[in-house]
Amino acid sequence: MSGADPLRLPRDVGLCARCRHAHVIVNRKGSKFYNCRRSRTDRRFPKYPPLPVLECEGWEAPATEEETS
Ligand code: SF4
């Protein structure tokens, strides 16, 4: 993990809040869950990592607009 400024991450979520592999799921009650999409191909990563995630080998910066267009 490098490149994520820990001072700008939500303390209750940590790195998953700014990771391209995180998929946020909101249930009917408004609770948010962070699904790690790396878990689909790599068993080292839990499907729903316990939060906050403070260190993670799989973290990558969110995709830029250029990458997604
Ligand atoms: S790779 Fe790490 S930081 Fe990214 S979503 Fe998965 S657990 Fe969170």
Domain residue extents for the chain? 6-55
Distance 23 CA to ligand 1 centre (A): 9
Residues written for the chain? 69
- Helix, coil or strand: residue 40: helix
Q: How confident is the model at residue 7 (pLDDT cuts 50, 70, 90)?
A: low
Is the CB of residue 35 below 6 angstroms from any atom belonging to ligand 1? no
What integer best gives the mean pLDDT of the chain?
Answer: 90
> CA-CA distance, 34 to 57, in Å (whole number)?
17
| For residue 6, pLDDT beyond 70 | no
Please tell me the distance from the alpha carbon of residue 22 to that of residue 26, in angstroms, as a whole number.
13
pLDDT above 80 for 27? yes
Per the listing, tokens 């799989």 go with: 58
pLDDT for 66: 80
Residue with CA closest to ligand 1 atom 8: 16
Provide the pLDDT confidence category of residue 55 given band limits of 50, 70 and 90: very high
Q: Enter the pTM of the model.
A: 0.84
- Cβ–Cβ under 8 Å, residues 14 and 59: no
Pull the structure tokens for residue 48: 């729903």
